[in-house]
Structure 1
Amino acid sequence: MTNSSRLSRRSFLQVTSAMTAGGVIAGTSNSSFAQDSPNERPVFATIGLRNQGWTITDKSTKFADFAAFADVDSNVLGAINEKLKAKTGKAADGYSDYRKVLERDDIDAVMIATPDHWHTKISVEAMLAGKDVYCEKPLTLTIAEGKLIEKVVKQTGRVFQVGTMQRTENEHRFLKAIALIRAGRIGEIRKVTCGINGATGSPVIPAVDIPEGLDWDAWLGPAPEASYRALPEMRTGYGGGVPLYTNCHYAWRNWYEYSGGQMNDWGAHHVDIATWALGASDTGPNRITPVSYSLPVDYKNGYPTVDDRYNSPTKFEIHANMPGDIPLVITSEGDNGILFEGTKGRFFVNRGRLSGKPVEDLENNPLPEGAVEEVYGGPVSENHTANFIAAMQSREQPISDVWSHNRMLETCHLANIAIRLGRELKWDPAKREIVGDAEANSFLARESRSGFEIDM
């Protein structure tokens, strides 16, 4: 999907202005909002509540009413519902089975913040149930899942926002970065480096009793059957209150069975902005080279040989050959953020700063009026949910559409495959398949565990 298929400037302005003026969406003939919604605010439900699930819910209460929650951990379900009640004065109906949410006719949209391995199944079934979808990043566990979601979005006509909030929030630093590039402030791009942090391995994590209140079989869902594992030490800070070393809450990001490690976690943010800036959102790389990497366990034929420790990469340097033979470097070293280098200069951007001489030069040579809005495709929304709701009104796709997200995420998926197999991969971005490597192509899809297939 190209930029032209996102919100038009006019329709975006009409809807966003209505939201800004009254805090609600004015009704339209093509609105999908429930007819009995107070003030015609959309009715939402959140599936997967821990950490980011509450974060996106909390941000969205300004624009939507939450009627239902679903989580396989009853402890989380109860705690988050108490937070919602304290903030809005009303708790949501709580379910352990997300399908109960999808059965309800009063739900306009679902927000999905489950572990990655659940994203595709819930997203597809939600769209088929007539719901618009906001799903956290990274959207998929495999490239085949991305293709399936694209197919169902097209089939159902549902609006689908991916939670790559850097496209909307963070004081618009990333939008300004792209505007700088489009204005020619660094000349022609010669190299882009995405620093996405390294990770740590883990000690041996033993199988232990499943915590009370957690439906472990449901948590695993489409993933392979496995024992619940944890060590006694608890995590502190963000995501705290759970075991520091586990294959469940929070730490699931370090396991290929449920996620893609740092490559997909932070890569889904910074590789997204880099790909957008390069104008490669409709294509992608043609070659992925694993220059260096470190895995915390031994691998054979692309699979970890043990199941009791984290298995995603701890260090890496990946080179993706982008259109125009521009190298996109994805590295665990250096500052977290994106360094753009061109024929006339370079600058760095992350969530905390936008720095470099081209940025300093803006004091005397500002960007043209409307340059940031031109990148965004219209007035920049207050937050990512506001953009989603504006798209729900217009029935056009939002700023983080599934097509551009999947294209950039293919780079991250391919990087992980290259690391797992220990070799360079040639990629055909038109056919969306690995060239001349049957073993590598076998990693583009993954079977769901029996009983958890997608209900089509």
Structure 2
Amino acid sequence: MLSRRTFLGAAAAAPIVLSRASAADKPSDRIALGFIGIGIQGRGHLGGFLGDPAVEVVALCDVVKERLDNAGQMVEKRYADRVKSGAFKGAKSYTDFRKLLDHPGLDAVLIATPDHWHAITCIHAAKAGKHIFCEKPLTQNVAEGRAVVAAVNKSKVVFQTGSQQRTEFGGHFRKAVEYVWNGRIGKLKTIRIGVGGPAVPCDLPTQEVPVGTDWDSWLGPAPERGYNEILCPKGVHKHFPAWRNYQEYAGGGLADMGAHHFDIAQWAMKMDRSGPVEVIPPEDPKKTSGLKYVYANGVVMIHNEFEGSEKADCVFEGTEGKILVGRSGIKSLPESILKEPLGDTAERVYPATGGHHKNWTDCVKSGKPTICTAETGHRSATICHLGNIGYRLHRKLKWDPEKEQFASDAKANKELIREPRAKWAI
């Protein structure tokens, strides 16, 4: 479904656009929502949306039968009163996301598949005119991200990347960004990001495929290999599977949480529609921390390397102090930086109340851009991809954030794209 020509032909940059027909125009005034991928993350999203009066869950899709059945039971239980009254006819189950996209009256989809499936499902959903909420990291490689952005902008659907730190977690990250924007730490010099290491090649042994699991569909565009329950757990699992560790499907810890924390860093730099100009891996090829991203304005962002005990999800260092922020809180050195509130004339971040889901559904109804559009989600994921490439190649790389290419480096540029398996090519 995603050929090399499709990727490389995507526009180098695309403007934010407004939505097509609003779901609020429907008589029911509810957004008819379908779910693609109902593992532990998708199940969490499902539980949240089942309590949202702005939404009606009408369709479900997964490649593991037990998960699909369980999700259907969740929907039936939540809508039990409406089922009895005849106001709700049940959520239709699908094993092929393309058939879900043809579901009558469907307005929008939530995509919570493994990362290697995000691009194909997003592009097909956009072409079908469905509004999209897609989990982060947005893609498995850079070219996929640009293709997603091009498809979303062409279709004019409303898109939300699942970068919940922009709206949730006590507002700590929002506050950090505003204080950086308003000069409370002086001139920003260095950002340190605390996340895991890069992805590694998958070397897991082959196991017998469980009954009810469509393993070939789970692989999708990824290289063909045997089943292993570490990648696709049996039945309804309660943990986050380790497919995240392997480069065939994702970007390791560097991308899994990095898509969140690098997103906040780029937001604070006002570079969340651009990127760095140089990637410098550590000198020791065995080291999996310390890679540096250098920006045109001189700011250096460092992966998982801290000074002393000053470790946090995001550490912003300026000429007049530091801000350390994480999901559990925010502090500054010196403490006086955060003590005085910002004034009425201070520059503020995108206003968002009610959480990431509500921001998306509000924008679906209004047609306004979300707090984390496809372009922003792509740029944040690109930071993760660049880091993985830097660790794999173990040499300095010059990056052009406008062209989204490495300068005079054919080998590095080959790392920006992956041909999908033939059955998923167009």
- Of 408, 420, 442 in structure 1, the residue corresponding to residue 414 of structure 2 is 442
- Of 267, 270, 277 in structure 2, the residue corresponding to residue 279 of structure 1 is 270
- TM-score of the superposed pair, with normalisation by structure 1: 0.81
- Of 321, 325, 341 in structure 1, the residue corresponding to residue 294 of structure 2 is 321
- Contact 1:189-1:343 at 8 Å conserved across structures: yes
Query: In structure 2, what is the equivalent of residue 345 of structure 1?
Result: 321
| Correspondence 1:58 to 2:54 | no
How many Å apart are 1:152 and its aligned residue? 1.0
| Correspondence 1:48 to 2:48 | no
Query: In structure 1, what is the equivalent of residue 382 of structure 2?
Result: 410
How many Å apart are 1:240 and its aligned residue? 4.8
Equivalent-residue separation in structure 2 for 1:110 and 1:419 (angstroms): 35
How many Å apart are 1:88 and its aligned residue? 3.3
C-alpha spacing 1:425/1:202, structure 2 compared with 1 (3 Å):
closer
Query: In structure 1, what is the equivalent of residue 354 of structure 2?
Result: 382
Equivalent-residue separation in structure 2 for 1:32 and 1:436 (angstroms): 47
Query: In structure 2, what is the equivalent of residue 12 of structure 1?
Result: none
How many Å apart are 1:368 and its aligned residue? 2.0
Equivalent-residue separation in structure 2 for 1:285 and 1:422 (angstroms): 17
Equivalent-residue separation in structure 2 for 1:34 and 1:340 (angstroms): 44
Amino acid at match of 1:46: F
Amino acid at match of 1:283: S
C-alpha spacing 1:210/1:77, structure 2 compared with 1 (3 Å):
same
Amino acid at match of 2:299: I
- Contact 1:30-1:394 at 8 Å conserved across structures: no
Q: Secondary structure at the match of 1:228?
A: coil
How many Å apart are 1:263 and its aligned residue? 1.5
Query: In structure 2, what is the equivalent of residue 18 of structure 1?
Result: none
| Correspondence 1:258 to 2:249 | yes
Query: In structure 1, what is the equivalent of residue 86 of structure 2?
Result: none
Amino acid at match of 1:325: G
Q: Secondary structure at the match of 1:161?
A: strand
C-alpha spacing 1:110/1:352, structure 2 compared with 1 (3 Å):
same
How do 1:288-367 residues align onto structure 2 when only pairs under 5 Å count? Answer: 288-291=279-282, 315-331=288-304, 335-357=311-333, 360-363=336-339, 365-367=340-342
Query: In structure 1, what is the equivalent of residue 372 of structure 2?
Result: 400
C-alpha spacing 1:6/1:292, structure 2 compared with 1 (3 Å):
farther
Amino acid at match of 1:368: G
Amino acid at match of 2:260: H
C-alpha spacing 1:336/1:49, structure 2 compared with 1 (3 Å):
farther
Equivalent-residue separation in structure 2 for 1:337 and 1:294 (angstroms): 24
Q: Which moved more, 1:61-70 or 1:350-359?
A: 350-359
Amino acid at match of 1:189: L
Equivalent-residue separation in structure 2 for 1:254 and 1:29 (angstroms): 37
Query: In structure 1, what is the equivalent of residue 137 of structure 2?
Result: 138
Q: Secondary structure at the match of 1:155?
A: helix
Q: Secondary structure at the match of 1:275?
A: helix
Amino acid at match of 1:382: G
C-alpha spacing 1:452/1:200, structure 2 compared with 1 (3 Å):
closer
- Contact 2:288-2:391 at 8 Å conserved across structures: no
- Contact 1:117-1:141 at 8 Å conserved across structures: yes
Report Cα offsets for 1:188-240 as digits up to 9, x if no partner: 10100000134898997421101121100000011111111247xx99xxx95
Amino acid at match of 1:448: P
- Of 329, 343, 350 in structure 2, the residue corresponding to residue 368 of structure 1 is 343
Q: Secondary structure at the match of 2:132?
A: strand
Q: Sequence identity of aligned pairs in percent?
A: 34
- Contact 1:34-1:43 at 8 Å conserved across structures: no
How do 1:238-249 residues align onto structure 2 when only pairs under 5 Å count? Answer: 240=237
Report Cα offsets for 1:65-86 as digits up to 9, x if no partner: 1001000000111112222333
- Contact 1:268-1:412 at 8 Å conserved across structures: yes
Equivalent-residue separation in structure 1 for 2:37 and 2:285 (angstroms): 31
Q: Secondary structure at the match of 1:445?
A: coil
Report Cα offsets for 1:254-287 as digits up to 9, x if no partner: 1111111112111100000000101112321000
Report Cα offsets for 1:142-198 as digits up to 9, x if no partner: 111111111111211111110011111111111100111122110110100000134
Amino acid at match of 1:417: I
- Contact 2:20-2:367 at 8 Å conserved across structures: no
- Contact 1:288-1:319 at 8 Å conserved across structures: yes
Query: In structure 2, what is the equivalent of residue 162 of structure 1?
Result: 161
Amino acid at match of 2:281: P
What RMSD in Å do the two structures reach over aligned CA positions? 2.9
Report Cα offsets for 1:400-430 as digits up to 9, x if no partner: 0111222232221111111112212110112
Query: In structure 2, what is the equivalent of residue 75 of structure 1?
Result: 66
- Contact 2:200-2:246 at 8 Å conserved across structures: no
Report Cα offsets for 1:282-339 as digits up to 9, x if no partner: 32100001116777xxxxxxxxxxxxxxxxxx93221000131110011177745000
- Any stretches of 5+ residues in structure 1 without a counterpart? 8-27, 243-248, 296-313
Q: Which moved more, 1:45-54 or 1:333-342?
A: 333-342
- Contact 1:159-1:395 at 8 Å conserved across structures: yes
- Contact 1:294-1:316 at 8 Å conserved across structures: no
Equivalent-residue separation in structure 2 for 1:261 and 1:425 (angstroms): 20
Equivalent-residue separation in structure 1 for 2:358 and 2:399 (angstroms): 36
C-alpha spacing 1:131/1:55, structure 2 compared with 1 (3 Å):
same
Amino acid at match of 2:182: A
How do 1:182-201 residues align onto structure 2 when only pairs under 5 Å count? Answer: 182-198=181-197
How do 1:74-93 residues align onto structure 2 when only pairs under 5 Å count? Answer: 74-89=65-80, 91-93=90-92
C-alpha spacing 1:370/1:197, structure 2 compared with 1 (3 Å):
farther
